[in-house]
């Protein structure tokens, strides 16, 4: 167990991506970042964010963790196994993934006092903190692009995109508003869709 935790490839803020999925329904109930000490604590307590953990899955590249949870059932021990990256991707690329993320963000915005949720803490700290994270993730995305390492580029741009979605939610907007803007622009010259300044 200790080697698994130490082998994880943490980012510059000593975090890895965490996906929380209901083991019974397959629903994604949380997408966040988690620190090493939080992983250790969740293993000790057999729980995370009020959920009972049934299984911990790691990607082969050790850059993400998947917690399969069940809040109704208690367990005595964890099962550990390594899964192919495609298996994690499959749970995140369903047709409704953006709807799931959007709903999660709205729920977290309403639950800003949730001390176990990184996303809730962003809403609790306000727009300034959210924009600070976007600035931070933008710089890390640029650095990733400069390296040309595809895994790193995807990882950092996902972090950036997530925090941009948080900002949209803070403004009571969703990804659907972005889709609508793309539709408005499609097939037009820039001068025909640029907003008046």
Tokens 């069940």 belong to residue: 70
> Average pLDDT in the 118-133 region?
94
Q: What pLDDT is attached to residue 96?
A: 58
For residue 163, pLDDT over 90 is answered with: yes
DSSP 4-49: HHHHS---TTSEEEEEEEETTT--EEEEEEEEHHHHHHHHHHTEET
- Mean per-residue pLDDT of the chain: 80
For residue 106, pLDDT over 50 is answered with: yes
Query: Rounded to an integer, what distance in angstroms lies between the CA atom of residue 158 and that of residue 165?
Result: 10
Max Cα distance, the chain (Å): 63
Which residues lie below 8 Å from residue 128, measured CB to CB, with a gap of 6+? none
Reported as a pLDDT band with limits 50, 70 and 90, residue 1 is low
Q: What pLDDT is attached to residue 9?
A: 81
For residue 98, pLDDT over 90 is answered with: no
For residue 185, pLDDT over 80 is answered with: yes
Question: Residue ranges per domain, the chain?
Answer: 1-93, 95-184
CATH topology of domain 1-93: Ubiquitin-like (UB roll) (3.10.20)
Tokens 């907003």 belong to residue: 195
Q: Which CATH superfamily is domain 95-184 in?
A: MazG-like (1.10.287.1080)
Q: How many CB atoms lie within 10 A of CB 50?
A: 10
Q: What pLDDT, in 10s, does the model give residues 28-57?
A: 777 788 888 888 888 888 888 778 888 888
Q: Are the beta carbons of 144 and 156 closer than 8 angstroms?
A: yes
For residue 135, give the nearest of 112, 159, 151, 108 by alpha carbon: 159
> Average pLDDT in the 92-103 region?
65
């Amino acid at each position: 167990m200790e080697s698994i935790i130490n082998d994880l490839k943490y980012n510059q803020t000593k975090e890895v991506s965490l996906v929380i999925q209901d083991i019974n329904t397959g629903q994604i109930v949380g997408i966040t970042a988690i620190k090493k000490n939080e992983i250790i604590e969740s293993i000790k307590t057999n729980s995370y964010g009020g959920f009972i953990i049934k299984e911990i899955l790691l990607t082969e590249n050790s850059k993400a963790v998947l917690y399969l949870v069940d809040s109704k059932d208690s367990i005595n021990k964890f099962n550990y196994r390594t899964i192919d990256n495609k298996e994690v991707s499959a749970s995140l690329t369903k047709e409704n993934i953006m709807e799931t993320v959007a709903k999660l963000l709205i729920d977290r915005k309403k639950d800003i006092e949730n001390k176990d949720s990184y996303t809730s803490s962003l809403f609790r700290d306000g727009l300034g903190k959210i924009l600070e994270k976007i600035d931070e993730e933008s710089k890390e995305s640029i650095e990733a692009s400069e390296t040309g390492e595809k895994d790193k580029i995807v990882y950092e741009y996902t972090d950036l995109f997530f925090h941009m979605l948080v900002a949209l939610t803070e403004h009571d907007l969703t990804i659907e508003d972005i889709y609508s803007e793309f539709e408005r622009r499609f097939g037009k010259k820039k001068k025909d869709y640029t907003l008046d300044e």
